Amino acid sequence: MAKVVLNRKRKKRLEQGHPWVYQSEVASIEGDYQPGDIVDVFNHQNFFLAKGFINPNSQMIVRILSYVKEEAIDQAFFTRKVRKAWQHRERFVPNVRSCRAIYGEADFLPGLIVDKYEDTLVVQNMALGMEARKELILEALLEVFEPRAIYLRNDVYVRELEGLEQEKGFWYGQGPTEIEIEENGVKYIVDIEGGQKTGFFFDQRQNRAAIQPLITPEATVLDCFTHTGSFMLNACKYGAKHVTAVDISDHAIATAKQNAELNGFSNVDFIVANAFDYLRDEVQKGTEFDVVIIDPPAFAKSRHAVKKALRGYKDVNLNGLKLVRDGGYFVTASCSFHVHGHMFEEMVQEAAFDAKKVLRQIHWSGAGYDHPKLLSAEEGDYLKFAIYEVNNRG
């Protein structure tokens, strides 16, 4: 087995539990290896730290699998890791049938995403070392979950950075590519073949439930960037009088309508529009809502995009706040990792100042129980979600 020796002056990230070794941290590599092979990682004093798979073509040259030198990376290893990941979901989301079942590095299976939709698994593999062991992973998934079918959503550009081809299609078994799931008592039709990511955003499960106390039988709700309608549907379930759902995508709104019909909700107006323009127009009209929800896609894909992203976030948050009736509630989120929590809060405060609003924070959180986060890896801390009571100032 090849041996990766780390620089003496590097930060002790690996000892703190970070799951990656960067190219810049490596002093030398001893022994022969092929991309995807398991290697041992040592510090400059020849002390064993961890083992993982190596890809010299990636900035993350080693992704960590184990901190035990003698642990074999074999079928039993993957079955054990998959079973432990599922036991975590069963404990923290009791009786769950649809959720994120494996969350890559946070479940100690770097680069591997598995979402469970009833009896179908959707897999996304974004690392060369995992691809080299895909048959072991398949056997582990079959043993732990006993699924009817497994669908691959390896149609992501990051695979090309790992030297892998993009692909999608059934990996095991066959079944429908539109699947009905239930979350928080709400039903959804999920398109695992053509939907975003693997078809659904499970990370907001607890946050969607958190809006329940905001909703009264008289509440009017605006859900911007509704996508397939998840917050809209929860607002309806909790008894809102009327909901307006806005998204720029015709396909997303069509799916949101389908989901509303599936749940028997008819008190919704669906609007295909650019949310930035829609919010400004409604401010000009003097429209007010009891609850305004702003849940946009990621505006910052890199550090360089943060300044522009914050301008975009401030725009939608400023106009969203202006639409909240005095004493109403504002729900806002960001899934941009590069926009850190303190940046997001500062942006909201600036928007509130400009909108002449005083905000009282009711709730602050991140992703749900099926998206655990390694404390040592800030890369997992991507989702910011907040609920504010909105009071007029002057």
In angstroms, the CA 117 to CA 189 distance is 10
Residue with tokens 């000009």: 284
Q: Which of 74, 79, 80, 27 minimizes the C-alpha distance to 49?
A: 27
Quote the strand ranges of 33-177, DSSP E.
Answer: 38-42, 48-54, 60-66, 98-103, 112-117, 120-125, 149-154, 167-172
- Residue tagged active-site, from 99, 224, 236, 335: 335
Cα 99-102-104 angle, rounded to 5 deg: 135
User: What are the structure tokens assigned to 272, written together?
Assistant: 């295909």
Mark whether 224 is an active-site residue: no
Provide the residue type at 369 as one letter.
Answer: Y
In angstroms, the CA 267 to CA 219 distance is 12
In angstroms, the CA 209 to CA 218 distance is 19
In angstroms, the CA 16 to CA 292 distance is 40
Q: Which residues does 115 contact at the CB level (< 8 Å), separation at least 6? A: 98, 99, 100, 101, 121, 122, 198, 199, 200, 202
CB 255 within 8 A of CB 262: no
Provide the residue type at 52 as one letter.
Answer: G
Radius of gyration, alpha carbons of the chain: 23
In angstroms, the CA 142 to CA 120 distance is 11
Q: Which DSSP string corresponds to 206-252?
A: HHHHTTGGG--TT-EEEEET-TTTHHHHHHHHTT-SEEEEEES-HHH
User: What are the structure tokens assigned to 157, written together?
Assistant: 């550009």
User: What are the structure tokens assigned to 29, written together?
Assistant: 């590599």
Residue with tokens 């079944």: 175
> What's the gap between Cα 150 and its chain centre?
20
The residues that are catalytic are: 335
